[in-house]
Structure 1
Amino acid sequence: MLTRQMYATLFLTFMLVISETAVANTVLQANGLGVVSAPPNQAVVSVDVSLTDINPTKAQHYVSERIDVVLAGLSAFSIVEDSLDSGYVMLSPDYEWDREASRQRLLGFRATRSVSFTLNNLNQVAPLMTALTDAKVTRISPLAFINSEADEAKDRALALAVENATHKLQLLAKAAEMSLSSIATINESFSSLPSPSSGLMRAEIAPDRASKDNYVFGDITYRAEVIATGIAK
């Protein structure tokens, strides 16, 4: 049967083991950042044709005719398969406020039809803009420039963030005259897949160049952040 003295001895021994382990192992924490830039290689294009006319049939016929011209012209361009969406004609009454009569006045019926698609060749941006203008579209939305391998770029950014956090843990351990024995946890704290870039810059070129349409596209930046903890001895 254990005596009180033996219990006390066992308890002190247990506490010493815990204390030595706590002193021997130090938990470190560091943030890691990974950034990857990639040039865009595709452009998301959206255009619409609209017309207001007191005759709704005439308005619908006009926008359908213009959109058919747009769709026919796209055969000359490199379009990502299954990205084309030609939509349907939307029809709604169009009013304006008549101040003298203090009431709304019907201007006609507005018919609108949109087309969106992804262009797979950025060298075709300039001729595409010309073709859309010639087709008399009503509006061309700002182009969104994207990278078809965005997921891979995001993964590379995350891997760089982990590498950066691990390097910081090693520096912290070295500064404390210790060594990093293991990584305890790694958590992703922030990861951004940026909104597609809509920036487009036209570059000035020499007169003797074959084409006057030349554009410069900015890179897309993918960013990832992690928080890592490590055990140092």
Structure 2
Amino acid sequence: MKKLVLFLTIMFMTMSYGQEIKQVPQINVNGEGKVKVAPDQVCISATVETKGNNAKDVKKQNDEKMDAVLKFIKKSNVPTADFKTKQVALNPQYDYDKKKTSYNATQTVEIVLRDLSKYDELMEGLVQQGINRIDNVSFESSKLLQHQSEARKLAIKDAKAKAEDYVSVLGQKVGKAITISDNSQVYHPRPVYAAMKTEMMDAAGASNETLAIGEIEITANVSVSFILD
């Protein structure tokens, strides 16, 4: 009898607790914020690659070319803090058909150029001094963190505006945000090369512009859950 009374008491308490739980009305929306800015610096990753049959000679030739490259960068008034050696490698490559071993030496330098007007001159000089591989060119903003913050704020405003649009026809209001998820990614545009200058431009002595820099589009994406009042 006591067990039956205890069981009924627990069931009654469980049912009463369940009735007290109320589902909180809410709305889930996505928001996006975009900030477009002109880049004010460019990061260049350039490599000297040398191949040959003798490891010592290959390494020596590669070192001499990279020495010339670094001297040119310094001569171009790029601050010491804005360029550095990123990678150095010397690898054997065995040719199974010829049964011979050759060697491949590479050295990569990473340069941050803060004066974009010197881009063409720098790139031309790098190639002339021995750079034979451009691994990456990315245009960036020195105020990236500031622009990212602005994009995030715009994304939250966009999410709230969407939520208000949805509930406006229901006679409800958007309350506090209860969850926010950041789904943002940063994108750096690659250079877009223009056509080579024509013979007429050469004859006229016109300057050669080899790329269109464009703009950096910094995007923030969020998912927000709002309580409905």
* Superposition TM-score tier, normalisation by shorter sequence: 0.7 to 0.9
Amino acid at match of 2:54: N
Give the gaps of 5 or more residues in structure 1: 1-13
State yes or no: 1:67 paired with 2:49.
Answer: no
Q: List aligned pairs for 1:178-197, cutoff 5 A.
A: 178-180=172-174, 182-194=175-187, 196-197=188-189
Counterpart CA distance in 2 for 1:87 and 1:215 is 25
The TM-score normalised by the length of structure 1 is 0.75
Counterpart CA distance in 1 for 2:167 and 2:77 is 54
Counterpart CA distance in 1 for 2:178 and 2:45 is 44
Alpha-carbon offset, residue 66 of structure 1: 0.8
1:201-228: CA deviation from partner (whole Å, max 9, x where unpaired)? 3268894675223531122222222222
| Equivalenced residues, count | 210
Counterpart CA distance in 2 for 1:65 and 1:165 is 57
Alpha-carbon offset, residue 73 of structure 1: 0.8
The TM-score normalised by the length of structure 2 is 0.76
Give the gaps of 5 or more residues in structure 2: 1-15
Confirm or deny: 8 A CA contact 1:52 1:94 kept in the other structure. no
Amino acid at match of 1:184: A
Q: List aligned pairs for 1:72-151, cutoff 5 A.
A: 72-77=71-76, 79=78, 82-87=81-86, 89-98=88-97, 104-106=99-101, 108-151=102-145
1:166-195: CA deviation from partner (whole Å, max 9, x where unpaired)? 112222332112333x2132412411112x
Confirm or deny: 8 A CA contact 2:38 2:215 kept in the other structure. yes
Confirm or deny: 8 A CA contact 2:47 2:109 kept in the other structure. yes
Query: Paired residue for 1:159, among 143, 153, 159?
Result: 153
Specify the SS of the correspondent of 1:211: coil
Confirm or deny: 8 A CA contact 1:186 1:226 kept in the other structure. no
Specify the SS of the correspondent of 2:184: strand
Counterpart CA distance in 2 for 1:178 and 1:91 is 68
Q: Quick one: percent identity of the two aligned structures?
A: 22
Alpha-carbon offset, residue 78 of structure 1: 5.4
Alpha-carbon offset, residue 126 of structure 1: 0.6
Confirm or deny: 8 A CA contact 2:191 2:211 kept in the other structure. no
Alpha-carbon offset, residue 67 of structure 1: 0.8
Alpha-carbon offset, residue 68 of structure 1: 1.0
CA RMSD in angstroms, aligned pairs only: 3.2
1:67-99: CA deviation from partner (whole Å, max 9, x where unpaired)? 11111111243546534222565222232232x
Amino acid at match of 1:225: N
Aligned residue number for residue 224 of structure 1: 220
Counterpart CA distance in 1 for 2:225 and 2:106 is 56
Aligned residue number for residue 27 of structure 2: 28
Counterpart CA distance in 1 for 2:209 and 2:27 is 55
